[in-house]
A and B are shown apart, each in its own frame.
Chain A
Amino acid sequence: MIFERRFLLGALAIAIVFPLLGWSEYVIHVGVLIMFSIMLATGFNLIVGYVGEFSLGHTAFLGIGAYTAALLSSSLGMPIFFNIAAAAVVAAIAGFFIGAVTLRLRGPFFVIVTLCFAEVLRIVANNWVALTNGPMGIAGIVKPAWMAQQTALQQKIDFYYIGLALVTVCVYFAYRFVYSFLGRAVVTIRENRFVAQSVGIWPYSYSLLAFVVASAMAGVAGAFYAHYVSYVGPEVFGFPFMISMIIMVLLGGKGTLIGPVIGPVIVVLLEEYLRDFKDLRFSIFGLVIVAVVLFVPQGLMGFVAARREQYARK
C-alpha cells in the first residue's frame, strides 16, 4: 500500500515534468497514447485483476464513451470536459446493464458473452447510419476553442496534460476502490467465492460495482481519444483495442495498481519501436503474449505490489 502510493506519486511527478524537457511533437504524441492506455488499463484491471473475471468486451465501454463524446461534440457542439463527464456517465449506465446480465455468469461463459456484447455494439455502430454515420464514422470533432491559435506541439502538450489529469482521477478512484472495504470484498470474492458469501459478502453486487467503475473509466478514455484524434469509427469496439488492454494489464501485473501504469508505458513504446518491422510486428505481438503467459504469468509487478495489508503494531 505504502509502496504503491509512493510509486504512483513519484510517477505522477515525473509525468508532470516530462513535457517540459523540450521533446518533439512525436514524443508528446506517444505520451498522450500512454495516458489514454493507462485510463483504459486501470479500469480493466479492476475487473480482471481484482474481481478476477476475464472480460473480453471492455471495448464496449470505450466505444460508448467515444461515440457519446463524438455525438455531443459534433451535433450539439458541447465542450470537451462536459463530453468527458457525460461519456463517463453513459458508459457507467451501460456498464450497469451489461454487467447486470453478464456477471450472472462466470469463467468462459462470462468471457464469451462480454465479447458478444462488444460485437453487437460494433455491428450497431456499423449499421445505424443515421446515428453513427456507419462505417464512415464521425469525423471532424472540433478541438477545444483555446487550442485554435496554438502550434501543433502545444496542442499535443495540452492534450497530454488533460490526459494526465484524467489518469490521475482514474488512478485515484482505483486506489480508493482497492484500499477500502470494496477492494477487500472483491479480493475475497476472487480468492474464494464461497468464503466471501459465508462472511456476508454479496459477490454479485461488488463485482457489478467494480464493473461499473471500470466502464466509466473506459468511457472517459474513449471520450478523450475521440477529442484527441477528432474521429470515431466502429473500430473502437474492435478486438485490437481489447488485445492491447489485455497485454498491458497482464504484462504490468494484474491485481496491482502499478501494473496498469507501467504496462501501457512498455506496450506503447514497444509498439512504436516495432513500427520498423512493419507487418511483422503483429506476429511478434502474438508471440509476446504467448511468452508473457508462459514466463511472467504474474506480470512484472505481480510479486512486488499485490494488494497487501499488515497490522501496524503499536
Chain B
Amino acid sequence: MLQVDNITKNFGGITAVADVSFAINKGEVVSLIGPNGAGKTTCFNLITGFYRPTAGRVQFEGTDITAFDPHRVARLGVVRTFQKTNVLPRLNVFENVLAARHLHGETSILRAFFPGKAVRVREKRVRDEAADLIETLGLLARIDTPAESLSCGELRLLEVAVALSAGPRLLMLDEPAAGLNTQEAERLADILKQLVGTRVDALLLVEHNMSLVMSVSHRVVVLNFGRKLMEGSPEQVRNSAEVIEAYLGKPVE
C-alpha cells in the first residue's frame, strides 16, 4: 500500500531523516521504533505532507503523494495522529469524533445553507457512526465529557477514535501508549490488533513501549540518528545486537 523511497529531511544543519525506505502491505501492522530524536515523528510528517522531503518519494497505492498537502493525503485514506495532542481539547468526546468524520459529512455549500431531507438523513448517519465508534472504543460513558477532562488512558483512546473516525485505510499512530500503565497498554494492544482487517487495511505504529510493539507488529523498522538501522520480524529485532546498542549504547570494552 505505502511505499517510502529514500526520503531525506534536513532542517538547516541537522539531518533528521536520511535516506529511509520501507513499505507497508495490506493487512500488516508495521512498527517504527528508535531512540528519542531518531526521526520517527519526522517520518510521519514527511509521509503525511506536513513536511516536504528534501529528497525521496512517497507513494500510496501507486499515487505519488510526495508533494501532497496534508488534507489531500488524508483524503486518500492515510490518517495519522500527533505525538503531542490529537484532540480538540475544549470539545467533548462526541464532537471530537464527529469533527473527524468530516469527509463523510461533506455536502455542497448550497446544501449546507438549504439542507433537505437527504442532508438530514446523512447527518444522522454520520452521527450514528461516530457514536458507534465511541462505543467500540469503550468511551460511551464519557461521550459528553470535554476532551481536556479525560484521564490519560481515555485521552489516548479518544486520539485513536479521532483518527479512525476519518475513515483511514492506512492508520498511522504516533506513540499511542505514551503515559499508559501496563494494563491500559494491554487493552490498547487488544484494540489495535482487532483494527486491521476490520476498520483499517494497515497500521503504522511509532511506539516506545516494546511489549506493545512486539505483541502487535508483523514487522518492525528501526531508525537511529535518522537512518534505517534494520528491518525485520519482532524476534529478529529483539535479538539484534545493533538495536540493543542503539538503545543502550555500546557496552564498555
Contact surface of A with B, Cβ cutoff 8 Å: 173, 176-177, 180-182, 184-185, 187-188, 191-192, 194-203, 209, 308-312
Say if the beta carbon of B131 comes within 8 Å of chain A: yes
Q: A197–B50 contact, CB under 8 A? A: yes
Q: Which residue of chain A is the closest to B81 with respect to CB atoms?
A: A198
Q: A197–B113 contact, CB under 8 A? A: no
Q: B80–A311 contact, CB under 8 A? A: no
Q: A181–B106 contact, CB under 8 A? A: yes
Please report the C-alpha to C-alpha distance between residue A308 and residue B131 in the assembled complex, in whole angstroms: 15
Contact of B80 among A184, A198, A308 (CB under 8 A): A198
Please report the C-alpha to C-alpha distance between residue A241 and residue B79 in the assembled complex, in whole angstroms: 44
Would you give the shortest CB distance from A70 to chain B, in whole angstroms?
A: 28
Residues of chain A within 8 A (CB-CB) of B100 are 188, 195, 199
Q: B75–A200 contact, CB under 8 A? A: yes
Q: B91–A202 contact, CB under 8 A? A: no
Q: B131–A311 contact, CB under 8 A? A: yes
Would you give the shortest CB distance from A14 to chain B, in whole angstroms?
A: 25
**Given A199-B100, A199-B166, A201-B102, A173–B75 Cβ distance below 8 Å?**
no
Q: B82–A191 contact, CB under 8 A? A: no
Contact of B109 among A182, A184, A308 (CB under 8 A): A182
Residues of chain A within 8 A (CB-CB) of B106 are 181
Residues of chain B within 8 A (CB-CB) of A195 are 82, 85-88, 100, 162
23 pairs from A and B in contact (CB 8 Å cutoff) = A176-B115, A180-B107, A180-B112, A180-B113, A181-B107, A181-B112, A184-B98, A185-B102, A187-B88, A188-B100, A191-B90, A192-B85, A192-B87, A195-B86, A195-B87, A196-B71, A198-B82, A199-B99, A308-B92, A309-B98, A310-B92, A310-B94, A311-B94
Q: B71–A202 contact, CB under 8 A? A: yes
Please report the C-alpha to C-alpha distance between residue A105 and residue B81 in the assembled complex, in whole angstroms: 25
**Given A173-B113, A200-B103, A191–B80 Cβ distance below 8 Å?**
no
Please report the C-alpha to C-alpha distance between residue A280 and residue B238 in the assembled complex, in whole angstroms: 76
Q: B99–A310 contact, CB under 8 A? A: no
Say if the beta carbon of B212 comes within 8 Å of chain A: no
Residues of chain A within 8 A (CB-CB) of B48 are 198
Contact surface of B with A, Cβ cutoff 8 Å: 48, 50, 69-72, 74-75, 79-82, 85-92, 94-95, 98-103, 105-107, 109, 112-115, 127, 130-131, 143-144, 162-163, 165-166
Would you give the shortest CB distance from B84 to chain A, in whole angstroms?
A: 9
Q: B113–A198 contact, CB under 8 A? A: no
Please report the C-alpha to C-alpha distance between residue A201 and residue B74 in the assembled complex, in whole angstroms: 8
Please report the C-alpha to C-alpha distance between residue A195 and residue B112 in the assembled complex, in whole angstroms: 23
Q: Which residue of chain A is the closest to B80 with respect to CB atoms?
A: A198
A interface SS class: helix
Q: B166–A198 contact, CB under 8 A? A: yes
Would you give the shortest CB distance from B98 to chain A, in whole angstroms?
A: 6
Please report the C-alpha to C-alpha distance between residue A197 and residue B103 in the assembled complex, in whole angstroms: 11
Known: A181-B102, A199-B74. 12 other contacts (CB 8 A): A177-B113, A180-B113, A181-B106, A185-B99, A192-B85, A195-B85, A195-B86, A199-B162, A201-B102, A309-B95, A311-B94, A311-B131
Residues of chain B within 8 A (CB-CB) of A308 are 92, 95
Q: B103–A199 contact, CB under 8 A? A: yes
Please report the C-alpha to C-alpha distance between residue A201 and residue B99 in the assembled complex, in whole angstroms: 10
Please report the C-alpha to C-alpha distance between residue A198 and residue B131 in the assembled complex, in whole angstroms: 20
Q: A188–B102 contact, CB under 8 A? A: yes
Q: Which of B85, B94, B98, B113 has the largest number of chain A CB atoms within 10 A?
A: B113
Q: Which of A173, A201, A308, A311 has the largest number of chain B CB atoms within 10 A?
A: A311
Residues of chain A within 8 A (CB-CB) of B89 are 191-192
Q: B91–A198 contact, CB under 8 A? A: no
Please report the C-alpha to C-alpha distance between residue A202 and residue B72 in the assembled complex, in whole angstroms: 8
Please report the C-alpha to C-alpha distance between residue A188 and residue B103 in the assembled complex, in whole angstroms: 13
Q: B74–A198 contact, CB under 8 A? A: yes
Would you give the shortest CB distance from B83 to chain A, in whole angstroms?
A: 11
**Given A181-B106, A184-B102, A191-B89, A201–B71 Cβ distance below 8 Å?**
yes
Q: A191–B88 contact, CB under 8 A? A: yes
Q: A209–B50 contact, CB under 8 A? A: no
Residues of chain A within 8 A (CB-CB) of B162 are 195, 199
Please report the C-alpha to C-alpha distance between residue A197 and residue B176 in the assembled complex, in whole angstroms: 19
Q: Which of B71, B85, B86, B90 has the largest number of chain A CB atoms within 10 A?
A: B71
Q: A311–B143 contact, CB under 8 A? A: yes
Q: B88–A188 contact, CB under 8 A? A: yes
Would you give the shortest CB distance from A176 to chain B, in whole angstroms?
A: 5
Q: A194–B82 contact, CB under 8 A? A: yes
Q: A199–B112 contact, CB under 8 A? A: no
Q: Which of B70, B80, B130 has the largest number of chain A CB atoms within 10 A?
A: B70
**Given A181-B102, A192-B88, A198–B112 Cβ distance below 8 Å?**
no
Q: Which residue of chain B is the closest to A185 with respect to CB atoms?
A: B102
Please report the C-alpha to C-alpha distance between residue A201 and residue B79 in the assembled complex, in whole angstroms: 12
Would you give the shortest CB distance from A242 to chain B, in whole angstroms?
A: 27
